[in-house]
Amino acid sequence: MKTLDYCHNSRRTNAQAADVSLFGPEEARVARAFHQGFAQYTATPLVRLKALAEHLGLAEIQVKDESWRFGLNAFKVLGGSYAVARYLSQRLELPMREVTPDFLRSAAVREKLGDVTLVTATDGNHGRGVAWTAQQLHMKAVVFMPKGSAPVRAENIRKTGAQCTVTELNYDDTVRLAMQHAAATGGVLVQDTAWHGYEEVPLRIMQGYTTLALEADEQWQSCGVMPPTHIFLQAGVGSFAAAVLGYFASVLGDDAPQAVIVEPQAADCFYRSFRAADGHPHAVTGHMQTIMAGLACGEPSSLCWPILRDRAAGALSCADSVAANGMRILASPLPGDRPVCSGESGAAPLGALEYMMKNSEMDEARQEFGLDASSRVLLFSTEGDTSPELYREIVWYGGRGAGR
Ligand SMILES: Cc1ncc(COP(=O)(O)O)c(C=O)c1O
C-alpha cells in the first residue's frame, strides 16, 4: 500500500453546487456570539509557519491551533455546545440572541425544561465537548465510545460527571447504539453526523464549527496576506470539512480555496467516493484501525456529502506515518517558526502537505491541486495531545507510524 494516495474529484461543479449559505459569515457570527458567552472562550491562535512554507516551496502556511479551545484540547466542543443551545432555544421558543450560557444554566430554565440528558457516540473529542456542555449547563450526559477507544479519552469524559461506556462496536455502529439509547430513554441525541431523518442537530453542529472558520478568516486577513488558495481539511464523517469549506465558499464564491480532504487509509470514505465518481457516497465498514481516532469514521454524513462532492478539489488517503510525521514537524519546527502541539487527527493535513511537496511520486497530484510557490495554505490542527501517551510515543520516541 502506498503512503499517500490522491484522487481528484471529477464530480466537482460550480453549476448548481450544493448550497452553503447556512455556513456563511452571518450564521458564523451568531454561533460565535454564543460561544463568546462561555468564560473559557478565546480565539485560538493562527500560527504562521514562514520557515516551513519556504522549506516546502510554498508562499504561505498558517495553522489554526485548536489545542487551545476552551481548555479541552480540540475544536469539537464548538459544534456540540452550539447544537444544544439551538435545541434549547427552540424548546424555550426564544431567538438565539437571547440564549446565552448563563441564561441556559439558570434555575428558571431548569424549572421550565426539567431534567435534560444529552446522548452521543464519540471517538473522544465530540463526546468530551458534549459532556462538558452538559456540565456547564447543569444537564446530564450519556456517552458511548467505539471498541479500542483510548482509556484516557473515556476518563476525560467521565471527569465531567458524564456516564461513559466503551462498547465492542465500531464507530458507525456505536452511533446507532446511541440513537437507540436516546429513543428508549427520552434523551436528546447530539450526534455530529447526519442521516436521512436526522439532520437538524448535525446542521447546528456544523454551524457551531464555523466559529473557527470565522476566526481563521479574520486572523488571516489581519496579517495582511491575500486569502488562502488551498485548505487541507481532515475528515471523519465530513461535518468539519463541509462546514469550513462551506464558510469559505460563502465568503469567497468562485475564489474559494481549493479544498483537499485528508483521511486515514483505514477510513477513507470520501477518497473512495471520489474514486467511484458516481455521485454517491461509499462507506468503509469493519474495524477501522488507525492512530487517527477522530477520523476513523466510515460513513459520510448525509449533510456533508453533497457539499464535498460538489466543492472539494479531491481527497488524500494517508498511512498513519503521514499523520505521525505531521505531529513531529509541528512539535519541532524550523528555526523562527512556533511549535504546535498537534495530535494524530490534527496533524494529518500538515503531514500530507509535507509529503506532497517533498516526494516526486506526488508531482502529478501537486499539479492537479495547483500547489506551487504561489500557494497559500490554511490548515487546522483540530486537536492537541488528546492521547498524551500516544503523543509521546510518536513524537518523543518515533513510534507508531515512524518512517515512511
Ligand atoms: C480532532 C478531530 N479532527 C477532525 C475530526 C473530523 O470531524 P468530522 O467527523 O466532522 O469529519 C474529528 C472528529 O471527531 C476530530 O476529533
Domain boundaries in the chain?
Answer: 4-74+206-395, 77-200
Share of the chain above pLDDT 70, in %: 99
How is domain 77-200 classified at the CATH fold level?
Rossmann fold (3.40.50)
Beta strands in 293-375 (DSSP E): 314-318
263: confidence class by pLDDT, cuts 50, 70, 90: very high
pLDDT at 397 over 70: yes
Nearest C-alpha to atom 16 of ligand 1 is from which residue? 294
From ligand 1's centre to the CA of 125, what distance in Å?
8
Residues 6+ apart with CB under 8 A from 168: 147
From ligand 1's centre to the CA of 386, what distance in Å?
12
CA distance 135 to 382: 22
What DSSP string describes 307-370? HHHHH--EEEEE-HHHHHHHHHHHHSPPTTSPP----HHHHHHHHHHHHHHH-GGGHHHHHHHT
Q: What is the pLDDT of residues 98-115, one digit of tens each?
A: 999 999 999 999 999 999
Dihedral of CA 89/91/92/95: which sign? positive
Q: Tell whether domain 4-74+206-395 is in CATH 3.40.50.1100.
A: yes
From ligand 1's centre to the CA of 69, what distance in Å?
14
**Which three-class secondary structure state does DSSP give residue 191?**
coil
From ligand 1's centre to the CA of 335, what distance in Å?
30
Catalytic residue among 65, 76, 268, 310: 76
What's the rounded mean pLDDT across residues 76-104?
97
Which residues surround ligand 1 with Cβ inside 6 Å?
A: 74, 76, 123, 125-126, 192, 234-241, 294-295, 297, 345-346, 382-383
> Which range, of 50-64, 281-295, 304-318, averages the lowest pLDDT?
281-295
Pocket-testing residue among 67, 77, 125, ligand 1, by greatest number of atoms within 8 A of Cβ: 125
**Which three-class secondary structure state does DSSP give residue 372?**
coil
Pocket-testing residue among 345, 381, 385, 391, ligand 1, by greatest number of atoms within 8 A of Cβ: 345
Q: What is the pLDDT of residues 327-372, one digit of tens each?
A: 999 999 999 999 999 999 999 999 999 999 999 999 999 999 999 9
What's the rounded mean pLDDT across residues 271-296?
95
What's the rounded mean pLDDT across residues 244-248?
98
From ligand 1's centre to the CA of 76, what distance in Å?
7
Q: Active site includes 123?
A: yes
Q: Active site includes 102?
A: no
Asked if the domains 4-74+206-395 and 77-200 are classified in one and the same CATH topology, the answer is: yes
pLDDT at 402 over 70: no
pLDDT at 15 over 90: no
Cell numbers for 46: 493562527
Catalytic residue among 123, 268, 337, 385: 123
